Amino acid sequence: MPNTRINITPHHLIPAHLIGEVESKLAYVDETITKAVVQPAGDQITLDLNSPANQDDREHLVRKIQQVVDTMAKGGFKPKIQILEDYLDRPIAFHEDPTEQLIEHNEINQEANGVYSLGPLVAGLVDYFESRFLELAQSFNAKPYRFPALIPAKYLERVNYFRAFPHSLSFATHLREDLDVIDDFAEHTICDKHGALTAEKDSFAPIKTLLSPAVCYHLYFAIADRTLSEGQITATAVGNCFRYESINLSSLERMWDFTMREVIFVGEKEFVLSNREKAREVVRRIFEEFGLAYKVESANDPFFIGEFRKQAAFQSAFQLKYEIRASLPYKSSTLAVGSFNYHQDFFGRHLNISLPDGSLAHTGCVAFGLERMAFAFLAQFGLETKTWPVAVRSSLS
Amino acid sequence: MEDQSKGVTIEQVRALLSTALQVPEDQITPDLAFGDIPQWDSMGHMEVLMSLENHFSVEISPDTITDLVSLPTIYDYLQVNENA
């Protein structure tokens, strides 16, 4: 039971299409919030807090919640959701949440909130999907790249990442190069009851590096401030990506540290857009072999509160993002397992990437969350491999 | 908010763009369009739309976002609204 539960009536009714977005952002309003629920009618918010709130704290919290709702729900913009493909009616035999079984069979082990190790069955599935997405990359003759898990802060600053997604940043640092600091750390530092290091904050060096939130950014930074003499690039890479999602982190559905395979296009607008469409065709064929129930629809990225209204509206209006959403039958919902993205000349403009004719490069990428793919597959087919589609079963055996 | 589009002039549109994009008015050329100057990028564009919403009650919709992408189209849109 939570220590405190409070109900808040928002000043603005939260429209249905924003309920999920607002709900997910409430996690970042205050550290005491352990659960936030917006009622389906959008007229009430229920918060569970892990500590009793006095009157002043409560009033302050309510003000912050109202501010979030005002900022995100202000104005009447309603996104134009376009469903491009709908295969949700494919027969599904399994209807349970696979998480408990995965834990029981030691197929997933939670190391920290949103951080999981995978056992042989899930790891095999991840490898299988990875191999199929490599086929997609090969169909474009994409050149292989390898990118680091760390990314310089100055890179992310240059593409306004801090403004758009501050809530999901993960920082990397190290002990200062000072023998006294290092010796003191080695001798005295332990983890407290919450798992947090007891070392003083000034033991750590200033943060200049973060854990990378996306794979394709590394390619754009690698070609920043230059003219692409070849006119276009098609690349592919896989990497660990890090997006902190607070209390929204949940099993393999929503991980802090996850693996993403991307196919990346850089060139003229038509080159990027036509390849995005070709990728949809190839992905459709691959997903048919999996027998996965899914749909493809227009979407927007989870921009933070202050930027949400503007950026989500722009992304939606120009149909810049299409999500592949696989069915999760046990909760009558869907999960984004991949996306087809077009960034216009955003990266070309901010990173000064130009084409031989002097125009700015356009970019796009097709991205797949490999653990989410495995999770959605297990949610539709279960852990019993005998019932899996032949294409998957035969490849794994 | 009262619709102030009646009698809107090109100069008013230029002033609005100048403020929203935070560039001097002399950079707001008669045919200026989205992407022509660094400030009129995706974020700048939404600042323009929000300015239009505040000053002329223009609804921010998928259509207005994709259509009102130049000084002439904004001006024409406001003229049509005036006649609507």
A344 interfacial to chain B (CB closer than 8 Å): yes
Strands in A299-347 per DSSP E:
321-328, 333-342
Nearest residue in chain A measured CA to CA from B42: A314
Interface of A with B in 129-148 (CB under 8 A): none
pLDDT digits (tens, 9 = 90+) for A126-155: 999 999 999 999 999 999 999 999 999 999
pLDDT digits (tens, 9 = 90+) for A351-390: 999 999 999 999 999 999 999 999 999 999 999 999 999 9
pLDDT, residue B61, reads: 87
- Per the listing, tokens 């950026």 go with A311
Judged by CB atoms closer than 8 Å, whether chains meet at B53 and A76 is answered as no
pLDDT, residue A2, reads: 59
Domain residue ranges of chain A, discontinuous segments joined by +: 4-73, 83-150+213-396, 171-203
In whole angstroms, what is the distance from residue A115 CA to residue B27 CA? 50
Domains of chain B, each with CATH number or no CATH: 10-83 (1.10.1200.10)
> Is residue B16 scored above 90 in pLDDT?
yes
> Is residue B1 scored above 50 in pLDDT?
no
A298 interfacial to chain B (CB closer than 8 Å): no
pLDDT, residue A204, reads: 98
**Sheet-wide strand order for A171-172:** A150-152, A209-211, A171-172
Judged by CB atoms closer than 8 Å, whether chains meet at B62 and A317 is answered as yes
pLDDT, residue A285, reads: 95
Instruction: Provide the pairing of β-strand A233-242 with A143-144.
Output: parallel
B45 interfacial to chain A (CB closer than 8 Å): yes
- Upper half-sphere CA count for residue A62 (Cβ side, 13 Å): 15
Q: B26 vs A74, which has greater pLDDT?
A: B26
In whole angstroms, what is the distance from residue A34 CA to residue A19 CA? 18
Question: What are the C-alpha distances in Å from A127 to residues A115, A301, A306, A358, A373?
Answer: 18, 26, 38, 41, 11
Picking from B38, B41, B65, the nearest residue to A313 by CB comes out as B65
**Which residues, other chains included, contact A177 with Cβ-Cβ below 8 Å and sequence gap of 6+?**
A205
Residue A367: which of A260, A279, A274 has the closest Cα? A260
Cβ atoms A269, A141 nearer than 8 A = no
Judged by CB atoms closer than 8 Å, whether chains meet at A344 and B42 is answered as yes
pLDDT digits (tens, 9 = 90+) for A76-93: 678 888 999 999 999 998
Judged by CB atoms closer than 8 Å, whether chains meet at A77 and B35 is answered as no
Paired tokens of A322? 């299409």
pLDDT, residue B3, reads: 47
Region A102-118: what's the mean pLDDT?
Answer: 97
Q: A309 vs A208, which has greater pLDDT?
A: A208
Picking from B42, B49, B62, the nearest residue to A80 by CB comes out as B62
Paired tokens of A326? 């696989």
pLDDT, residue A244, reads: 97
Picking from A76, A314, A346, the nearest residue to B59 by CB comes out as A76
> Is residue A51 scored above 90 in pLDDT?
no
- On whether the A83-150+213-396 domain is CATH 3.40.50.880, my answer is no
Percent of all residues in chain A with a pLDDT value above 70, rounded to a whole number: 99
pLDDT, residue B83, reads: 43
- Upper half-sphere CA count for residue A221 (Cβ side, 13 Å): 18
Region A309-331: what's the mean pLDDT?
Answer: 94
> Fold for domain A4-73?
Alpha-Beta Plaits (3.30.70)
What is the complex's ipTM, to 2 decimals?
0.82
Q: What is the pTM of this model?
A: 0.92
Cβ atoms A260, A337 nearer than 8 A = no
Picking from B41, B50, B65, the nearest residue to A349 by CB comes out as B41
pLDDT, residue A76, reads: 62
Region A64-82: what's the mean pLDDT?
Answer: 86
| B36 membership: H or E segment, kind and range | none
Give residue B6's pLDDT band: very low, low, confident or very high (50, 70, 90): low
pLDDT, residue A1, reads: 54
B1 interfacial to chain A (CB closer than 8 Å): no
pLDDT digits (tens, 9 = 90+) for A231-258: 999 999 999 999 999 999 999 999 999 9
Percent of all residues in chain B with a pLDDT value above 90, rounded to a whole number: 63
- Domains A4-73 and A83-150+213-396 agree in fold: no
In whole angstroms, what is the distance from residue A25 CA to residue A64 CA? 11
Question: What are the C-alpha distances in Å from A387 to residues A93, A148, A233, A381, A383?
Answer: 9, 38, 41, 7, 9
Judged by CB atoms closer than 8 Å, whether chains meet at A318 and B65 is answered as yes
Classify the phi-psi angles of A254: left when phi > 0, otherwise alpha if psi is within -120 to 50, otherwise beta.
beta
In A, which residues are within 8 Å of B35 by CB distance? 345
Q: Taking all residues of chain A, what is their mean pLDDT, rounded to a whole number?
A: 95
pLDDT digits (tens, 9 = 90+) for A146-183: 999 999 999 999 999 999 999 999 999 999 999 999 99
DSSP state of A163: H
Nearest residue in chain A measured CA to CA from B38: A349
* Pick from A7-11, A63-67, A322-326, B79-83: least confident: B79-83
